[in-house]
A and B are shown apart, each in its own frame.
Chain A
Amino acid sequence: MSGCAVVGVGTEDRGDDAIGALVADRVRELGAAGVTVEPVATPLELLDVFDRYDSVVVVDAVRSGAEPGAVTVSVLNESPSPARRPSAGTHGLGVPEAVELARALDRLPARLVLVGVELADVTTGADLTEAVAGAVDRAASEVLRAAEAR
């Protein structure tokens, strides 16, 4: 286990839900040393990433009531995920469930940070809203800051 992994979670063609993957793509373009962008097909695969890195930054669309496009940073390995509600994904287990499952199995990385981008619309087939699309660079900066703070 070493280095820092960045994981963008989300689905294309579901409006703002794609933001996680877009931010991860931007981080890859920026190419910071010691930072690896890891793809996951489902949130449950986060556990395999947790096994391989000391530090993991997860980027995902979040819904907290803040202004669309607002970027929030939460350290998850110290306290339970702020989001714990019935799955928002159609596959039964979303990011909060995967993180809590990893915690229960003692498989969390030494440092786990969630960079959340407040979403506005996740309509099937829709593009990102302007507010969320405009958050890519800010979110990518927060990801790199979180990655370097390890």
Chain B
Amino acid sequence: MTPEYLSRFGGILIFILGGIAFVLLVVGIARMIRPNRPDENKLSPYECGEDPVGNVWTNFNVRFYLVALLFLLFEVELVLLFPWAVLFSDAESLATFGTSWIWISITEITLFLGMLIAGLAYAWRKGYLAWVKPDPKPETIEPVVPGALYEEINRQYERKK
């Protein structure tokens, strides 16, 4: 008495199982037929032929996190928009709801999108999405050698000519 929807998801299940089985099969065959002679160089992590230097665990720039968080919010928004899109593309369900529902839902969606776009615009306008640009400042160097000495030398060589 398996319900119909489950048998439709059975295809996905077969895909998942097939994927796992395929990976295991390929790796298993490789393991069976390959020679197994590990040495120190083969086991070391590859880093462009160099010996690895330093730690793999580095501190990310916080900006990545901010961008990921904004992405997450928009993703959740998209998840909430999807049911509406499914209903809206279906003429049958549109007919049952009537014209007033269409306009109400469009207004709702516009408001909903507008809220998040306002947030994005805020973050953008304030420059939190912008990457840190290098900001070279012209350095003023106090010369140790006074200018008069250069003048002196110039005069000396002029005389020799």
Q: Do A and B bind each other?
A: no
Residues of B within 8 A of A (CB): none
Residues of A within 8 A of B (CB): none
